[in-house]
Structure 1
């Protein structure tokens, strides 16, 4: 920093003014030993990267065979989930919305979301889950997936998940459910997610970043629907990339013949793009994701206009018929839930059934509770009888919260 000083002759200093000089901070000098260590570390990283690349090329076939084996071993069974007495498919979109918002709030890796849903579905394929614990199972799956593949500082804390759940559960219930999910799955957590296969195909075909984001958007849309619960991630990755290229007008990749399952998956995916979740569309409308949700909406509107032009003027229906799609979440933007900005949207898991109307489940939609962002902790504590639970669930595969004292 220097103060202003009038021009003076070089041989006549002005005693009324002074000049303060502040030198810029100099970086600490590195000794010879530290510099040698840094250079050696950089060389080791270069050598390790080259060895990893050579090993990957050599063992790529074995790696892919193992991944395809794990793909079959860790695939959920939608038919077994159909046998759940209390969990219904119309509840799934609410829980997936909650998991997507929690996943974005903690800035977790993309594969963590797909692993979370895989753990959730695998658990629901093996255990009977009560509706009041459906969200608890989802939180436990998110905790396990984050601990498995994410950075330690980004793993959600139990009190943070409890705040997102509006204080529905005690802290001990999260730890108990997490352990029960691990024991049920026999600690077999590893699963080749759709993001893994998508990255392989993108690197091989050298697709654009926009195609990558559009394919991710399509894969997350598929998480809401029963049709794709038992679909292999490799098939889902190939189908979503092909559909993303078609939507964005990119050239089609000719990588061999498609079998019946892949063609059916591609066709089914295209039928579920017209009404995505509001929360998911908002996530992919950001510039970080290149606004692919808006581009998909524009594409679907253009296709609808072409279909109307080809079919001619529609004939008026005799009776107005409206059939809701219970596998998607457009209804969350209507009715009492519209405009709810505080708190997180939670699935309809009210234990006493106060959020349900009278009548068949297919004719109404439950309303998510409105709660503050940071609810006050519950004063009561729940004590579990571990021995009684073990004896009970050894014979009946229920979730661990079936009996509470």
Structure 2
């Protein structure tokens, strides 16, 4: 519309608008300006990506050297965890199931889970931990890891963590434990995770989401086993990537590349633990957003078992001889199985500081939520209302420890 004045018997009137033939010209010019701004933004984005790539390539070797140095400085000590008086290795998978589901509930980054487990293990390497505080340490580690590298709007609150723990701990206990973990680790939080090295290896080739999800699935399976606790994340990342490419029939990286220098022994150990993964982890990676890699692994193992049965089948006997063919077995193929959770004994720790907070005088841990190991594992969850974006299955008593 264009503004025009028309005379009237009352004088000049400024309140009339009529259609102007030039209106289309104004709209066209506004559209052209908007298009030019969008083109300029795209050009700036391309320039930023080019500069970022050039800078990364220039300092990539220095970055990799620093990451490999830091991973050696921030590894937990398995021998120190062995001599814990109360917490045992068989408790660890149940706590990790809880952390995996909490991590998925808050939609945190993959590296946050690896960093949280590293903080948990490093703390247990330096402090005496009561079994009734084991879950509290895990929650504090997840909270610190989320604050360190994740989006601010996805960082869990103390109220949400308290609800997931069935109000087993007070608000002050989460804050106090968070501070104590940071003090114990001398505020050294930065740790090159498996995901960090994996992204570095994947940046050298064309992006393949299925390979990335498969490698992450294998790396998270390794979190549940003691033998990989002190393994360097760079070794785990390259070995997980090599095994993922093998399962998906992808071409392996060149031996001259950094990603191609994987450890065959670690790859073999990882393959031996694919048969009995955590049910929580298997459900997590069975969704389409993560390429359903857990189902792909199950199909791969079934095919390998069939091949092994055909290879080990006895020759067909003559028709005149009554011969009963033995039942096929996969034991010869499966090889070493995932070890069962043993009760490791431990010597008394002569040096160390007891983990705060001190348990209240009134025995509040003997109530309904008094255990970490689930009574029925896994079970159908019960919903809890009025909690931010957390699914109901993360609030049942199956995660609260009742190890006696």
Q: Is this a same-fold pair by TM over 0.5?
A: yes
Q: Deviations over 1:123-181 (max 9, x none)?
A: 11111111001110000000000000111110000010111111110010000000000
CA RMSD of aligned residues (A): 3.5
Aligned length: 317
Report what 2:364 is aligned to: none
2:113 is paired with a residue of what secondary structure?
helix
Show the 5 A alignment for 1:143-182.
143-182=143-182
The normalised TM-score by structure 2 is 0.70
- Inter-partner Cα distance in structure 2 for 1:175 and 1:230: 28
The normalised TM-score by structure 1 is 0.70
Show the 5 A alignment for 1:81-100.
81-100=81-100
Q: Deviations over 1:350-382 (max 9, x none)?
A: 3xxxx54xxxxxxxxxxxxxxxxxxxxxxxxxx
1:159 is paired with a residue of what secondary structure?
helix
Is the contact made by 2:72 and 2:232 (CA closer than 8 Å) also made in structure 1?
Answer: yes
Report what 2:134 is aligned to: 134
Report what 1:119 is aligned to: 119
Report what 2:14 is aligned to: none
**Relative to 1, partners in 2 of residues 1:335 and 1:56: Cα closer, same or farther, differing over 3 Å?**
closer
Report whether the alignment pairs 1:296 with 2:348.
no
Report what 1:280 is aligned to: 281
Is the contact made by 2:252 and 2:260 (CA closer than 8 Å) also made in structure 1?
Answer: no
Is the contact made by 1:91 and 1:347 (CA closer than 8 Å) also made in structure 2?
Answer: no
**Relative to 1, partners in 2 of residues 1:208 and 1:36: Cα closer, same or farther, differing over 3 Å?**
closer
Q: Return the index of the structure with the highest Cα Rg.
A: 2
**Relative to 1, partners in 2 of residues 1:40 and 1:117: Cα closer, same or farther, differing over 3 Å?**
same
Is the contact made by 1:94 and 1:345 (CA closer than 8 Å) also made in structure 2?
Answer: no
Consecutive unaligned residues of structure 2, counting only runs of 5 or more, are 1-26, 314-325, 330-336, 343-371, 383-394
The Cα of 1:79 is off from its aligned counterpart by: 1.6
Consecutive unaligned residues of structure 1, counting only runs of 5 or more, are 1-26, 317-321, 357-405
The Cα of 1:337 is off from its aligned counterpart by: 3.5
**Relative to 1, partners in 2 of residues 1:38 and 1:184: Cα closer, same or farther, differing over 3 Å?**
farther
The Cα of 1:50 is off from its aligned counterpart by: 3.5
Report whether the alignment pairs 1:325 with 2:340.
yes
- Inter-partner Cα distance in structure 1 for 2:71 and 2:208: 26
- Inter-partner Cα distance in structure 1 for 2:261 and 2:210: 28
1:213 is paired with a residue of what secondary structure?
helix
Report whether the alignment pairs 1:265 with 2:280.
no
Report what 2:401 is aligned to: 349
Show the 5 A alignment for 1:366-377.
none
**Relative to 1, partners in 2 of residues 1:30 and 1:177: Cα closer, same or farther, differing over 3 Å?**
farther
Report what 2:308 is aligned to: 307
**Relative to 1, partners in 2 of residues 1:259 and 1:289: Cα closer, same or farther, differing over 3 Å?**
closer
Report what 2:380 is aligned to: 340
The Cα of 1:115 is off from its aligned counterpart by: 0.6
**Relative to 1, partners in 2 of residues 1:254 and 1:46: Cα closer, same or farther, differing over 3 Å?**
closer
**Bigger mean CA offset, 263-272 vs 47-56:** 47-56
The Cα of 1:267 is off from its aligned counterpart by: 1.0
The Cα of 1:51 is off from its aligned counterpart by: 3.1
**Relative to 1, partners in 2 of residues 1:65 and 1:336: Cα closer, same or farther, differing over 3 Å?**
closer
- Inter-partner Cα distance in structure 2 for 1:323 and 1:213: 22
**Relative to 1, partners in 2 of residues 1:90 and 1:67: Cα closer, same or farther, differing over 3 Å?**
same
- Inter-partner Cα distance in structure 2 for 1:278 and 1:110: 18
Is the contact made by 2:373 and 2:401 (CA closer than 8 Å) also made in structure 1?
Answer: no
Is the contact made by 2:159 and 2:171 (CA closer than 8 Å) also made in structure 1?
Answer: yes
Is the contact made by 2:255 and 2:261 (CA closer than 8 Å) also made in structure 1?
Answer: no
**Relative to 1, partners in 2 of residues 1:311 and 1:31: Cα closer, same or farther, differing over 3 Å?**
closer
The Cα of 1:236 is off from its aligned counterpart by: 0.5
